[in-house]
Amino acid sequence: MESALLKRLDAILPAAPARDADAAGTHELPRRAMLLRAVAALPELPGEQPQGPSDPPEHRAAAAPHDPSSVHSAAARALRALAQAGLLSECVADAAAASGESGRPAPLSLRAMCLVRAALSYRSPLYDLMFVMQGLGSYAVALCGSAEQRRSYLPAVLQGDAVAALALTEPEAGSDLAGIRTRARPDGAGGYVIDGEKTFISNAGLATHYVLYARTDDHPKKGLTAFLLPAATPGVRTEPLALLCDDHPIGRVILEGVRLPESARIGQPGQGMTLALGTLEVFRPSVGAAAVGMARRALDETLVRVQARVQFGQPLAAFQATQLAVAEMATECEAAALLVAHAAALHDTGGPAMPASAMAKLFATEAAQRIIDRALQLHGGSGLIRGSVIERLYRDVRALRIYEGTSEIQKLVIARSLLTAKG
């Protein structure tokens, strides 16, 4: 069973696109195999369907109604398993492996991160979420944190002892980070008093630490500053949010008179916009990788389904309309995988991140939505059974076109990159 799963995971993302092979090598094939084996060996999470379609969805037991109290326990279990498997090192910088005179951790391999995210999302979007949040909630510290922050925080995140979160989005500040209103005011004793609200924060209520962005000056771009905020700090409270993907730990973070010492600041005052955009830029192609993993799972489920399901005296696969649909699904899935692999290879070899990074995120997430929608159509009513693989993918994939830069923002980034280059 594990060997069959390994074969499917290995087919999701290529080792390196042919055009990048000379510069990027073959992505260290022994390490690639090691990472895929680690993903394949992860324990199944509650509600996770076995890998590889078996019984038709309508013959499987219906999923129990969602219990919000189980979300955090399932997420914590996923994080422990990822840490024990050693996978978190692909998204969290290792403070013990500092390089150069600066003492900063060595750069992450985006190709490895994308490989792991694609494989994890094929298995379980919850595994993927807990993996990437450890990176998103620690990357600013790796870039510009103090020596003490890196020494105390990064190893804990890497081992899964600290649960990381990124507190960036606000009710009036999504794509427009200049609209952030959370305010950090000097307290007169060298520290800060912070008031404000963050929303749609993954791991809210579960995180032990937040990388928080707050306004220390009125300048729209140069007035943001990053802080490392322990969740247990007085004045911090959280409220859960119920989303379409109901096993996603997410909520609001309310800050009322929160006091932080100067040592909690990450980098210099006013450096927050650069840190936030730098974090999103590095992780953006990996969102496309997660989309490719979900799309590939939907395609694999569909190929089995249409060959087993008989209508009008023959399998669905015998109908030309079905054949055209799966051909389009497979082609889009392969194109998305190649775009993601190309963007990751460019990053790792020092090439220009834009517009390849935005193209990968845009196309892969949009294509995954189309592929999973078509998979549901080919599954018919069984694709709507709550808790079935396709139904869960249908709910989980939708957020990928929104977070870490909406599809519309990616189009603007691509256009500006092209027009600037031509101008």
Q: Is the pLDDT of residue 275 over 80?
A: yes
Closest CA to 116 of 344, 327, 342, 365: 344
Domains of the chain: 2-158 (1.10.540.10), 164-270 (2.40.110.10), 274-422 (1.20.140.10)
Q: What is the mean pLDDT of the chain?
A: 90
**CA angle (18, 20, 24) in 5-degree steps:** 120
Indicate whether 320 pLDDT > 60: yes
Q: Does residue 148 carry a pLDDT above 80?
A: yes
pLDDT at 174: 87
User: Residue 275: what residue type?
Assistant: L
Answer with the residue of higher pLDDT: 153 or 63. 153
Residue 104 has pLDDT above 90, yes or no: no
Least confident of 93-102, 181-190, 229-238, 352-361: 93-102
Element of type H or E holding 345:
helix 320-348
Cα angle 185-191-194, degrees, rounded to a multiple of 5: 40
10 Å CB burial of residue 422 (0-12, 13-18, 19+) is: exposed
307 within 8 A of 299, measured Cβ to Cβ: no
Percent of the chain with pLDDT over 70: 88
Q: How far apart are CA 55 and CA 57, in angstroms?
A: 6
What confidence category does residue 338 fall into, taking pLDDT thresholds of 50, 70 and 90?
A: very high
Mean pLDDT value of segment 254-260? 98
Predicted local confidence at residue 65, as pLDDT: 45
What's the rounded mean pLDDT across residues 224-245?
Answer: 94
- Whether residue 26 is predicted with pLDDT greater than 50 in this model: the reply is no
Dist CA 405 CA 409 (whole Å): 6
Q: Is 404 a catalytic residue?
A: yes
Residue 62 pLDDT > 50, yes or no? Answer: no
pLDDT at residue number 242: 86
Please state the length of the chain.
423
Report the C-alpha gap between 111 and 284 in whole angstroms: 12
In one letter, which amino acid is 263?
Answer: S
Q: Collapsing DSSP states into helix, strand and coil, what is residue 315?
A: strand
pLDDT: which is higher, 2 or 306: 306
Q: Is the pLDDT of residue 23 over 90?
A: no
CB 337 within 8 A of CB 392: no
The active-site residue out of 48, 170, 391, 404 is: 404
Backbone phi, then psi, for 238, in 5-degree steps? -125, 155
What residues have CB less than 8 Å from 103, skipping those under 6 apart? 147
pLDDT (tens digit per residue) in 360-392: 999 999 999 999 999 999 999 999 999 899 999
Least confident of 18-32, 51-65, 158-172, 200-214: 51-65
What mean pLDDT is predicted for residues 262-278? 96
